[in-house]
Structure 1
Amino acid sequence: MQEATIDKCNMLFCDYYKQWISIYKEGAIRPVTMQKYNMAYRWLSKLIPDLIICDLDRFSYQKLLNDYALEHERQTTMDFHHHLKCAILDAVDEGLIPHDPTRKAIIKGKQPRQKKPKFLNQFELHKLLEDLELTEQLNMDWLILLVAKTGMRFSEALALTPKDFDLSHQLLSVSKTWDYKGQGGFLPTKNQSSIRKIPLDWKTVMQFAQLIKNLPDDKPVFIQKKIYNSTVNDLLARHCKHAHVPEISIHGLRHTHASLLLFAGVSIASVARRLGHSNITTTQKTYLHIIQELESKDIDIIMRSLSNLNS
């Protein structure tokens, strides 16, 4: 083994991981994803601060995952595992670790917390929207309405400017996001498929034509100061409570929008395009329970149709 490799082999694994993030990830991924890698580094520093990279084997790696899982749900532990694995495989390729310690890793985790419902039904959504205070000036209630009617991501809705509203063609252009988790400012969309034009109903067009007519073309219509996801979720929760419907998050409105379209008979491909999913598989996985319910209804329709055929 060369001297440089021997020196590197004696590095602390958390130091190697920090260096790996800096070289391979910094500037190549979205800031929100970078935060997850940095968070994984902080957990390494807490759980295995003294582990040398060449001592990382299946046993020590499994213990690391087990210790992490004591304070996190299984899905979060799985994400942590995925954030570490690429760096570890690179260390294996460099000859710093003789065998892949992540092979056959067992993912554990705490019992999931009671989660909010993911979406509302059509009746519940109507009750919620009736409770909104839609003033003559744009406020966060208007943002809630727009997310419910378009299925946009929260960051996409925050980034909207007046020039994104093509009112004559009843279209809304999504081409950027707002960095509400960081220092503010425009960021690229989640993926290339997220750049899209969403058709709007005529009533929403008429409402927003009045709301944005005197606003600067290139300034976000919903941003006056620093805004937090939790602030809008708290506002939405108050409206849900007042309307006597299940409490959902702002992201739950995106799920509600997609669910209502699927139940209305809109194709999965059209829903995927409207949501800005990179492929139909993402939509199918996210809304599997609804698709299965619709398939059950389809089978009933098929059976009734067949039974009506003359033999």
Structure 2
Amino acid sequence: MLHTITADSLFYEYYEQWIKVYKEGAIRNVTMNKYLMTLAWLKKLIPDLKLGDMTRITYQQLINDYAELHERQTTMDFHHQIKCAILDAVDEGLIARDPTRKAIIKGKAPREKKPKYLNQFELHTMLNSLELTQDISWDWFILLVAKTGMRFSEALALTPKDFDFPHQTLSINKTWDYKCGNGFLPTKNKSSVRKIQMDWLTVIQFSGLVKGLPEDKPIFVKQGKSVYNSTVNGVLERHCKAANVPVITIHGLRHTHASLLLFAGVSIASVARRLGHASMTTTQKTYLHIIQELENKDIDLVMRSLSELC
């Protein structure tokens, strides 16, 4: 039930109702949780601030207080989530002027970044440490993600019928809700529905592994058992340490897959399709550093070719 909101209402109460009206049911659970986290911080930082008292100074102080405990990018996300609600309040006459105008976004110095991907030699060394038995295990999961670049939730949702062994393809058409335990869910976006080509060795390996398993049941999720990202990351960490390579996450295997394809000369368009990105822009932004390295190599190649023309 909606409550009447006035300029004398507490700001966090307005924001809570704004989330319920405009966001509930319209966004994915993971995104909704971010809005709810922002709400929790508003209750903590400005529990007594009234909606009509939100000025540029009070807003900037709110951002400053949040920034003391968070990195700049996280603070920027916090700002964007609140700004949308505030602009609606301005349109409704509940706040006189836009207090978010010219807001200065601060934040703690970024933490030292962990390596996001392995090079080809490191990946090969790590994969050699896997214990690939005749039974489905997280080691097989790690191998398949490394070979396909799937997202964690996409790989969890795989069933035997998703494998088309004669055509060497793998159909990605759903995800597994490992966070809330609601079973199969749609993919992240329409572009995420795709077919991934597999190499012949992976085809042979998995054709034997999934033989006899229920066609429509996830092969990596045991019935009635919860799956945690941290569990699989822990298995991968042990293998990385055993292989004496940088420790990365399961999502880092996805980055590794894409990086190796780009360095091998595969086009950005093909990599974007294989990863299920909504557009090539996403791929370009995510792997900008690699693309820049490749461009430098291209410049050297162009100059070398031109010098041979005389």
Q: Structure 1 length normalisation: TM-score?
A: 0.96
* Pick aligned residue for 1:39 from 34, 37, 40: 37
Residue type of the alignment partner of 2:164: D
Aligned to 2:219: 221
1:70-149 correspondence runs (5 A): 70-149=68-147
Residue ranges of structure 1 left out of the alignment (5+ in a row): none
What does residue range 174-193 of structure 1 map to in structure 2 within 5 Å?
A: 174-193=172-191
Partner of 2:294: 294
Corresponding residue of 1:244: 244
Separation in 1, partners of 2:177, 2:246: 29
- 2:171 partner SS: strand
Give the residue type in structure 1 aligned to 2:256.
Answer: T
- 3-state SS in 1 of match to 2:296: helix
1:304 counterpart = 2:304? yes
The range that moved more, 97-106 or 294-303, is 97-106
SS of equivalent residue, structure 1 residue 173: strand
**Residue identity matched to 1:223:** V
Please give the alpha-carbon distance, in whole angstroms, between the structure 2 residues aligned to 1:141 and 1:114: 28
Q: Are 2:169 and 1:171 equivalent residues in the alignment?
A: yes
Instruction: Tell me if the contact between 1:177 and 1:186 (Cα under 8 Å) persists in the aligned partners.
Output: yes
Q: Is 1:25–2:6 an aligned residue pair?
A: no
Number of aligned residue pairs: give it.
Answer: 306
Offset at 1:149?
Answer: 0.6
| Structure 2 unmatched runs, 5+ | none
Which whole-Å CA distance do the structure 2 matches of 1:108 and 1:133 have between them? 46
* Matched AA of 2:146: A
Q: Which amino acid aligns with 1:90?
A: D
Contact 1:184 1:226 in 2 (8 A): no
Provide the C-alpha distance between the structure 1 equivalents of 2:108 and 2:210, rounded to a whole number of angstroms: 47
Alignment of 1:259 onto 2:259: yes
Distance 1:100 1:39 in 2: 23
AA of the residue aligned to 1:228 = Y
The aligned counterpart of 1:206 is 204
- Superposed CA RMSD in Å reads 1.2
Give, in whole Å, the separation in 1 of the partners of 2:22 and 2:104: 27
Name the % identity: 72
Q: Which amino acid aligns with 2:303?
A: M
Higher helix content, 1 or 2: 1
Moved more, 112-121 or 34-43: 112-121
Find the aligned partners of 2:39 and 2:142 in 1 and give their Cα distance: 36
In 2, Cα distance between equivalents of 1:249 and 1:293: 23
Distance 1:55 1:215 in 2: 62
TM-score (norm 2): 0.96
